[in-house]
């Protein structure tokens, strides 16, 4: 029950999956086909402020957003779920991303997580992490993982009502872990993750193997996390991401998020690895590459990949 304050505000980190979420078993509740595991990006993410008002208004990075813009439509549709908690209020929502929106990183994940936390702050809800994670999941699946720092697992759950499909932190911090962002193209995605997932699930023959592979990869990555076995983690995360892209490419019409620059850099990662540099990659539903490496190799990776933006998730 709600004891309303004047304004709610919160921050949530962006996250990158090492074992990807791809495919929904329930589109309305955002229930996934498989469990997934991610790393949160520390202080890179979304800060959101929300206050009740006479009329809805949405701001993104300080600029007003037209209410028929896709970003505003999605934000307001999500708020519809909660208006009754606040006496059917309208809201002014201010969202600030400190990670480039175009890079496909300030995605919906940190946005919906921050929005749920801001609502919880506004209403003084006092809900636990699991419940907040499930609420964020309703906005975007990967948002369920952005409630937490560090390594996070989203349990797919089995209940049809989604009451056991939430994320939780796993494993202790790994202070040497680094992520590099290779921003290759800021072109808008041709197909969003929702449509992309549906198309893959419905038409891709290769997708049939995805749930089993994701389950196995997740266990391997968890084991590697606990053992601090970076090589196994990196290898499994890279193969998991490229396998996800294989399922997409086998859909019809084919779903190809990789651009020529992406392919070029995939080959480069293989080359520098063959030369002895321990670096792995992962790719989401877009053309940009995220590199995975350890602190010891930070300089070497930065000089091999000019323009790399390095993130210390535990910094």
How big is the site for ligand PMV, counted in residues (CB under 6 A)?
15
Read off the tokens for 135: 């609420």
Q: Whose Cβ is closer to ligand PMV: residue 31's or residue 304's?
A: 31
Q: Does 21 bind ligand PMV (CB under 6 A)?
A: yes
Rounded-to-integer distance, Cα 203 and Cα 128, Å: 38
Helix (H) or strand (E) holding 310: strand 309-311
Q: Does 133 bind ligand PMV (CB under 6 A)?
A: no
Q: Does 91 bind ligand PMV (CB under 6 A)?
A: no
Residues written for the chain: 315
Q: Whose Cβ is closer to ligand PMV: residue 32's or residue 123's?
A: 32
Count CB atoms within 10 A of the CB of residue 123: 19
Of 58-66, 90-98, 138-146, 201-209, the window that binds ligand PMV (rule: CB under 6 A) is: 138-146
Q: Whose Cβ is closer to ligand PMV: residue 97's or residue 108's?
A: 108
Q: Binding mask 143-182 vs ligand PMV (x if CB under 6 A, - otherwise)?
A: ----------------------------------------
Among 34, 40, 48, 107, binds ligand PMV (CB under 6 A): 107
Residues 161-190 as b or e (16 or more Cβ within 10 Å = b) = ebeebbbebbbeebeebbbbbbbbeeeeee
Q: Does 17 bind ligand PMV (CB under 6 A)?
A: yes
Among 23, 111, 141, 180, binds ligand PMV (CB under 6 A): 141
Count CB atoms within 10 A of the CB of residue 150: 20
Helix (H) or strand (E) holding 113: helix 108-123
Among 117, 138, 281, 285, binds ligand PMV (CB under 6 A): 285
Q: Does 110 bind ligand PMV (CB under 6 A)?
A: no
What sign does the dihedral 138-140-145-149 (CA atoms) show?
negative
Instruction: Give how far the C-alpha of residue 19 lies from the chain's centroid of Cα atoms, to the nearest Å.
Output: 11
Cis preceding linkage at 253, omega within 30: yes
Q: Does 134 bind ligand PMV (CB under 6 A)?
A: no
Q: Is 55 exposed, middle or buried (0-12, 13-18, 19+ CB in 10 A)?
A: exposed
Q: Binding mask 192-231 vs ligand PMV (x if CB under 6 A, - otherwise)?
A: -xx-------------------------------------
Q: Does 46 bind ligand PMV (CB under 6 A)?
A: no
Q: Does 251 bind ligand PMV (CB under 6 A)?
A: no
The distance of closest approach from Cβ of residue 145 to ligand PMV in the complex, given in angstroms and rounded to an integer, is 8
Looking at residue 46, the DSSP 8-state letter turns out to be E
The distance of closest approach from Cβ of residue 17 to ligand PMV in the complex, given in angstroms and rounded to an integer, is 3
Q: Whose Cβ is closer to ligand PMV: residue 240's or residue 297's?
A: 240
Q: Say if residues 35 and 214 touch (Cβ distance below 8 Å).
A: yes
Q: Say if residues 7 and 51 touch (Cβ distance below 8 Å).
A: yes
Three-state DSSP state, 149: coil
Q: Which residues would be at the binding site for ligand PMV (CB under 6 A)? A: 17, 20-22, 36, 107-109, 140-142, 193-194, 284-285
């Amino acid at each position: 029950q709600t004891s309303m304050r004047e304004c709610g505000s919160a921050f949530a980190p962006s996250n990158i999956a090492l074992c990807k979420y791809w495919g929904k078993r329930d589109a309305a509740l955002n229930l996934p086909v498989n469990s997934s595991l991610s790393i949160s990006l520390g202080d890179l993410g979304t800060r959101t402020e929300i206050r009740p008002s006479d009329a809805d208004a949405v701001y993104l990075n300080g600029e007003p957003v037209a209410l028929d813009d896709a970003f505003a439509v999605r934000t307001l549709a999500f708020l519809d779920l909660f208006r009754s908690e606040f006496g059917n209020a309208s809201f002014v929502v201010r969202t600030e991303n400190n990670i480039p929106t175009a890079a496909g990183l300030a995605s919906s994940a940190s946005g919906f997580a921050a929005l749920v936390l801001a609502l919880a702050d506004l209403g003084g809800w006092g809900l636990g992490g699991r419940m907040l994670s499930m609420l964020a999941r309703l906005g975007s699946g990967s948002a369920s993982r952005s409630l937490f720092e560090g390594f996070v697992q989203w349990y797919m759950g089995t209940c049809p009502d989604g009451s056991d499909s939430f994320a939780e932190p796993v494993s202790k911090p790994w202070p040497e872990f680094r992520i590099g962002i290779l921003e290759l193209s800021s072109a808008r995605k041709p197909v969003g993750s929702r449509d992309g997932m549906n198309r893959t699930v419905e038409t891709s023959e290769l997708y049939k193997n995805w749930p089993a592979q994701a389950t196995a990869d997740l266990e391997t990555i968890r084991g590697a996390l606990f053992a601090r076995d970076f090589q196994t983690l990196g290898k499994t995360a890279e193969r998991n991401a490229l396998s996800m892209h294989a399922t997409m490419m086998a859909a019809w019409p084919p779903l190809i998020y990789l651009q020529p620059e992406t392919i070029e850099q995939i080959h480069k990662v293989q080359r520098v690895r063959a030369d002895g540099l321990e670096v792995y990659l992962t790719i989401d539903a877009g053309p940009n590459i995220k590199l995975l490496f350890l602190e010891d190799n930070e300089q070497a990776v930065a000089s091999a990949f000019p323009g790399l933006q390095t993130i210390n998730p535990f910094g």
